[in-house]
A and B are shown apart, each in its own frame.
Chain A
Amino acid sequence: MGVGTWRGVALAALVGWPVATMSAAGPVEGTFLLVEQRYGNGDWNLASRDEPLRIEFRREGGVVAGRVWAGGDSSAASRWPAFANDAGLLPVEDVSVKEDASTGEVIARYRVRPSPTDDLVLEISESYRLVESGQALVGEMTVRFFVEGADRGGFALHRRFERER
């Protein structure tokens, strides 16, 4: 996956970005560390301790922009939203990123075609909002699976990030 590909996708996404507004908990800004990740209502925390995931949101020209990376090297960050397997990034398509003016929630929707030889399309949404104290980011990542347009199930990950900066 080359850098140019996701830049092209991100450019399309920028068109839909609204101007950020304040929420009760404040705008989603800062650097956050993934500390909890649970499937559905599951009790199990699947967040990796070895290669912790970080997500960073900042303001660029009044709109929110994000980047995400695993491990401690922020120079390896990818522009958010991004999707990857363990070999690297996968192309994301049809990206839209919105910020809910009333809640401050940041929502990204995008598609991934993981295999060129398969009909599978992933429709993914990620949404994050600050908790009242502003010290944590909570949200949900849902992945739905479509084959030839038919919904063939999916899953949801519930995530909690804690503020580092």
Chain B
Amino acid sequence: MEITEVLYNLVFDYTLRTVAMGSAILGIVSGALGVFAVLRRQSLLGDSVSHTALPGIALAFLLTGSKAPLVMIIGAAVAGWIGTLFVLHIINNTPIKADGALGMILSVFFGFGLVLLTLIQKMPNSRQAGLEKFLFGQASALMVQDVVIMAILGGLSLLLVAILWKEFKMLSFDPEYAVSLGFPTRTITIILTTILVIAVVIGLQTVGVVLMSAMIVAPASAARQWTDRLGVMVVLSGLFGALAGVSGAVISSLTAKLPTGPTIVLCISAIVVISILFAPNRGLVMRAARNYMNRQRLITDAILLDLFELGIQHHDPHYAHPSSTLKVMSITRGNIERSLHNLQEHDFVQEIGEDNWALTESGVRKAAILANRMEEKS
């Protein structure tokens, strides 16, 4: 399909438009809020909340008989919230650490959810197939009213983030200091946790329980590589999430038998990999390049100093030495051909005869500066 066709469909094809919008909203909200989860070392809270939501969904159906999305979402949110409360309680009051508490609550709640699901299955007129949609996500079944609910809830959550920005920032950076300033950190934590739960729950329909964890962690992790400022990180994270959401929706619509949820996750994971490798400051590729250049500089500086030393010994700064001598003295003990040519290019050394190297005038000056610097340091 041509790109223009795709864009046309995005606007005019009901299904694609709805799915893309829903995925975009999911991406923005979970991306933005995921920043706080990741920074507070609660990355796996997304995983936990999405699993603990299951019994909430089942109970909501059992109690109301309705499969309206809003009902499901409220049920999921309440259950997710209660589960998180248990997790925090266990962490604060027992020797069990975060990972153990998260894992246990997640699996027990989910198991209980399964029990409820099988109970529902036995009910006479159960249409519980709709409930399982929440388990694995079925983005292609998104309807406009689902997207509207996502937009409203997601928008409210983002609004809260904007309003309570400095409170959330301080809570994430130094909660004890916040207490000493008199901030009710417990209340702030509750608010933050609540909107995090909402962010996870509205995404369940799209990517499902297992993959929701990625939508919380991945956009934020990618964004962190590109910036050192929290505000930029949140915006970038939301953008990455939206990008992944829309791309996933589009790509999966173009290919047969490609479920949307996993495609979105692969898109955001690709963004993470690219960020980790190629981000300017922190990126691994840049890091390696910087290390390489630093090392090269160390080697060439050392060669200059060696020539300088030798020059002093021979009472002639321009005394030429074979590269084999320099190689033995070199800090790298390897091939110094390249370094010598590098120095030659910069006019610091010149080759005299066959493989003999001497400092030039500028080379002597540079070496003198380096030698001075070394003396100052010691």
- Please indicate whether A and B come from the same complex rather than being unrelated chains: no
